[in-house]
Amino acid sequence: MTALPPSTDVFVIGGGPAGLAAALAARRRGFDVTVADYSVPPVDKACGEGLMPDGLAAARALGLDLESAPGYSFRGIRCCDGETSVEAAFSHGSGRGMRRTLLHSLMVDRAADAGVRMAWGEHVGGVSPEGVWVDNRMVRARWIVGADGGHSNVRRWAGLDASYRNGRRFGFRRHYRVAPWSEFMEVHWGDRCQLYITPVSPEEICVVLISRDQHLRLSDALPQFPAVQRRLRGSPASTPERGGVTASRRLKRVNSGNVALVGDASGGVDALTGEGLCLVFRQADALAGALLAGDLSLYHAEHRRIARRPELMADLMLLLDRRQGLRRRAIRAMAKTPRIFARMLAAHTGALGMRDMIANGLGLGWRILTL
């Protein structure tokens, strides 16, 4: 643990992946950076633990080489609804499944190597234009970054809670000691819930249940997915079930004065998109650029641009969650014309632009109508 300095250029509140990404990006721009968090590494979180190719590229831009870290590569996405399924490989590169605790440990080590000052087990009590209050002492800071999660105190202290949308669903994650049965990350659709399955090692998979029902657990939902249930039969759980909230939130502002928000503190898209970490890495890089320019309004504009594509995909997925009949027709249409799903996946990972994404959506709509 590092002692807190009397002052720093950038003070990051929150030492999860979002805070560490922001710290790494700022260090790469030459800033003196301090991170403080009440927790102690490694910090876990109930998430799908999958990184898409665009997320891995965004991590490389921060100096994080995650492709060579322990984990498991997957070549694309498979979408399943009952007996119907459609799959597509990524148009460029592979995805990577990786335990969240391992990712956090790697990021902590990389931040330490980069010269980020990290203070763990510290309680941050407030912010002011002059700096940050930590255990009743002031650490002066030119810039303050709130990376303290979906229930962010920094967001509240800075008066940034106002939002255009604020929905939530609930996720429950468990790991199973079983060899991955697929070279794809799988999304299985059920009755108002989904299973999100990611291979994280040659002997282990991560299974996440996402729904609007905070009381629904994996053991209750698995009978809806008999194919998955058969594959898991006899395979021991390697971790306890862990829960969390996945928020769909767009804030009106992500900066105020010398304070900026990143990660879940700055809003988010539903976890079903698998874009959470990619958003974090890209936000961190955009924020560091704005800090270097001395203008946080640049970050606000870039934050909006970065979120546009994931928000559109999240809206589509949540529509399919609510409309079972539409979802079944859509998956059948894509199964009959797999190139539509392949182009949708390419758009989802940034290999196609927004115009192509919209045109592909119109093509899917036509296929649904002509089934």
Instruction: Tell me the average confidence (pLDDT) per consecutive run of 10 residues in the chain, 371 residues long.
Output: 88 97 98 96 89 95 93 95 93 94 96 96 95 94 97 97 89 96 95 94 96 94 95 94 92 97 94 89 98 97 93 86 89 88 85 62 53 55
Using alpha carbons, select from 269, 361, 252 the residue that is nearest to residue 315.
269
pTM: 0.92
Using alpha carbons, select from 134, 137, 95, 100 the residue that is nearest to residue 16.
100
Torsion 155-157-158-159 (CA) sign:
positive
Cβ-contact 189, 331 below 8 angstroms: yes
Backbone angles phi, psi at 200, to 5 degrees: -115, -10
Tokens 């950038």 found at: 10
Cβ-contact 280, 21 below 8 angstroms: yes
pLDDT of amino acid 353: 67
Contacts of 152 (CB under 8 A, 6+ apart): 146, 261, 264, 265
pLDDT of amino acid 366: 46
Cβ-contact 170, 212 below 8 angstroms: yes
Using alpha carbons, select from 82, 88, 84 the residue that is nearest to residue 338.
88
